[in-house]
Structure 1
Amino acid sequence: MLKVLIACVWLLGSAYGAMAHATSVVFLNPGMSTETFWVSYAQFMQAGAKDLGLHLRVRYSERNTQNTLIQAREALQGNERPDYLVLVNEQYVAPQILRMAQGSGVKLLLVNNALTADQVQMLGHDVDWLGSMVPDDEQAGYLMLSDLLRQHGPVAPGESIDLLAFSGFKNTPAAQLREQGLHRALAEHPEVRLRQLVYGEWSRQRAFEQATQLFKRYPQTALVWSANDEMALGAMQALQGSGQMPGKHVLFSALNSSPEILHARLDGRLSTLVAGHFTLGGWAMVLIHDDAKGVDIGAFGGRDRQEALFQLIDAAQAQRLLGATARVDFRALSAVGKPASYRYPFSLQLLLR
């Protein structure tokens, strides 16, 4: 995976060095401890925490929401409560944790999947949290199909293009938003026929099994849209099993930046790749650092933030993500001492430059 060991810990003073009490953070990671995306996500968080003088503990749910709730209870009601709890609204788990946190003295920050509008209304004003930080998932879904169609090229009048789509968990906001982006692009291209959208639940094996049947059902499939890398790789495997070649007979898109999907982008099996949101946890460490320093983070871009982190990854950038060691000075991103006009410059470009 992308090497995210950050080599720029500038020891400019004891305020950022050894501290009598480092601000403590627990991250409830919804993924598997062997899952490339969530492991790299946590590594980038750890790099940010180290640079900023935070003490970060990562707990993996192993894709089990009951584990998440148990871990949340331990963090919020145990003897060693952290100063901050970072969580993901994966499978709509956040409201239970927000209620659990009331009166604990622990500040909560949501990342990647924020509360839905219905959840906000249901919780009312009695429940409070520090804020939320999410990527532009709808734009990511839109970018993937738009770029696939650019590479496919136009069709003759009266002809159509068959598309298959693989989304994540149905009750996960990020998956829903990526689907919305897909449908926005479809509305602009009536020549595309979405033959079927299935929920691969972010799983390579599930997508492989689904795609094996779908390619038989829709033999004219020309495009495959996938909401993450694992599902794209599973669908590619299914296509190869049918005797066809990804990138030649069918064009694929994917989202994420695992080594395997980056190699697929480089060798042409993957036509379109969107990435960038693995950085979100690291940027969240900057917000927590600043809040702990007394900064009103809402004054520098809002309490509930959507960051434009996703971008199309070309071959040169894929190679850079594979081979380069990212160097980010997280402390330089802090709003401490910055003018009121300052806005956090969170972007994948900070790693690619």
Structure 2
Amino acid sequence: MLKVLMACVWLLGSAYGAIAQAASVVFLNPGRSSETFWVSYAQFMQAGAKDLGLDLRVRYSERDNQTTLAHAREALLGTERPDYLVLVNEQYVAPQIMRMAQGSGVKLLIVSNALTPDQVQLLDAYNDTGLIGTMVADDEQAGYLMLTDLMRQHGPVAPGTTLDLLAFSGAKTTPVAQLRVQGMQRALAEHPEVRLRQLVYGEWSRQRAFEQASQLFKRYPQTALVWSANDEMALGAMQALQDTGRVPGKDVLFSAANSSPQILAARLDGRLSTLVAGHFTLGGWAMVLIHDEAKGVDIGARGGRNRQQALFQLIDAAQARRLSGPLPSVDFRALSAVGKPASYRYPFSLQLLLR
């Protein structure tokens, strides 16, 4: 009986030790708790954390920077500090959080929106911020792919003629939005037959883009192409076109980024001609890096601490159908560098979900 009791105590102690050793993570989610992209981003992150034995809490800011800062203050200066804080440089908020983190003992990982070059210079004096790295997607390439594929879908243009383009970017002070616009501009330089009539900032909002597009389609009735930095703005602009009696995908070709159910449906029914996706996986891959860093892996030696992952890819109809159904589970533990040779590189890719 005593042996059984001692064995139970040992098992309980082992279980408690495993729980106590689980690295804790707080994610400052800049989106709304009802926003499809940021919810799916957090869900994939939670799947990774669960598989890797991390204790993850997600705090939504509801698109309010003051809420983000309040959540950061609670995590960094409160009594129950996490081991890691994951944040997004949305609306340039990262430097304030990094200054707040000085001396807190909490390690930081920036995802999706990296520090701007100016911010990096300003933060040179802040060495003790606990920043272990950044992890972003190839947003410039996403912007480029959308416009070049729109042109492929449209086909050749008669000599001496031009195509009118409208573009909907996100928030002006968001690095991701700026990079996607830069990619679009690179594609424009390769296609002089495309004339950008107007670039507007839809703030990632379907309603705002709908209102803007309702005016723009009147101002530029010959619009042939619409480039949108996300799915919500594309859907809003499509609705505005439909209200004029024209057909998205036939009278005007649309592009978008993201993989929400509605935009995937639009890709499948032909209203959307070009779709890029894959960056919602960033949070999940970030969990692998945090797991490995907590286990003593030098993540900088395996691809660098400031990582740009080639996550965006064009989504064809078959892939849109695949993403519309239940996604396959990912073995996040198998992606870890723990126990792998020094030559191992993280194989982060949307293809892990499309197999």
TM-score range, shorter chain: over 0.9
**Which string of whole-angstrom CA distances, capped at 9 and with x for unpartnered residues, describes residues 285-320 of structure 1?**
000000000011000000000000000000000000
How much has 1:191 moved relative to structure 2? 0.4
The one of 143, 146, 151 equivalent to 2:145 is 143
**Following superposition of structure 1 onto structure 2, how do residues 164-203 of structure 1 map, counting pairs within 5 Å?**
164-203=166-205
CA-CA distance at 1:18 after TM superposition:
4.5
Partner of 2:99: 99
Deviation, structure 1 residue 323: 1.1
Q: 1:308 is matched with which residue? A: 310
Write the distance in 2 (CA, Å) between the matches of 1:168 and 1:126.
Answer: 30
The residue identity in structure 2 corresponding to 1:349 is Q
Per the alignment, in what secondary structure is the counterpart of residue 211 of structure 1? helix
Deviation at 1:154, TM superposition (A): 1.0
1:324 and 1:23 mapped to 2: Cα distance?
A: 29
Which residue is 1:86 aligned to? Answer: 86
C-alpha distance after superposition, 1:22-45 (max 9, x if no partner): 110000000000000000000000
* CA distance in 2 between partners of 1:126 and 1:116 (Å): 15
SS in structure 2 of the partner of residue 197 of structure 1: strand
TM-score by length of 2: 0.94
Separation of aligned partners in 2, 1:348 and 1:34: 23
> Structure 1 unaligned runs (5+)?
1-13
Deviates more, 1:126-135 or 1:196-205: 126-135
Match of 1:212 in 2: 214
Amino acid at match of 2:41: Y
CA distance in 2, matches of 1:163, 1:154: 15
Give the partner amino acid of 1:305: R
Deviation of 1:325 (Å): 2.7
Deviates more, 1:337-346 or 1:212-221: 337-346
Q: Percent identity?
A: 83
Give SS of 2:214's match.
Answer: helix
Query: Separation in 2 of the partners of 1:304 and 1:30?
Result: 20
* Residue equivalent to 1:290: 292
> C-alpha separation between the residues in 2 aligned to 1:241 and 1:95?
43
Alpha-carbon distance in 2 for matches of 1:21, 1:52: 12
**Cα distance, 1:90 vs structure 2:** 0.2
For 1:3-22, list aligned pairs within 5 A. 18-22=18-22
The aligned counterpart of 2:325 is: 323
| Residue equivalent to 2:339 | 337
Q: Deviations over 1:205-253 (max 9, x none)?
A: 0000000000000000000000000000000000001110100100000
Name the counterpart of 1:8: none
User: Aligned to 1:121, what secondary structure does the other structure show?
Assistant: helix
Q: Distance in 2 between matches of 1:340 and 1:323?
A: 37
1:248 and 2:250 matched:
yes
Q: How many residues align?
A: 339
Show structure 2 runs of 5+ residues with no match: 1-13
Richer in helix (by share): 2
Q: Which residue of 2 aligns with 1:44?
A: 44
Deviation at 1:125, TM superposition (A): 4.2
Partner SS state of residue 72, structure 2: helix
State the SS of the aligned residue for 2:19.
coil
Once residues 193 and 18 of structure 1 are traced to their aligned partners in structure 2, the CA distance between those partners, rounded to angstroms, is 60
Q: Secondary structure of the equivalent of 1:185? A: helix
Rounded Cα–Cα distance in structure 2 between residues aligned with 1:49 and 1:146: 36
Local SS of the residue matching 1:113: coil
- Matching residue of 1:67: 67
- Which structure's CA Rg is the greater one? 2
> 1:183: Cα distance to partner?
0.2
1:35 match: 35
What's the CA shift string for 1:111-162, capped at 9, x where partnerless? 0001000000011142341100000000000000000000001111100000
Which amino acid is 1:235 matched to?
A: A
Detail structure 1 runs of 4+ shifted over 2 Å in the superposition. 17-21, 125-128
2 CA distance for matches of 1:36 and 1:20?
33
Aligned to 2:26: 26
Q: Which amino acid aligns with 1:278?
A: F
Distance apart, 1:326 and its partner CA: 1.8
Of stretches 121-130 and 149-158 in structure 1, the one that deviates more from structure 2 is 121-130
TM-score under structure 1 normalisation?
Answer: 0.95
Q: 2:6 — aligned with what?
A: none
| Secondary structure in structure 1 of the residue aligned to 2:161 | coil
Q: Which amino acid in 1 is paired with 2:221?
A: P
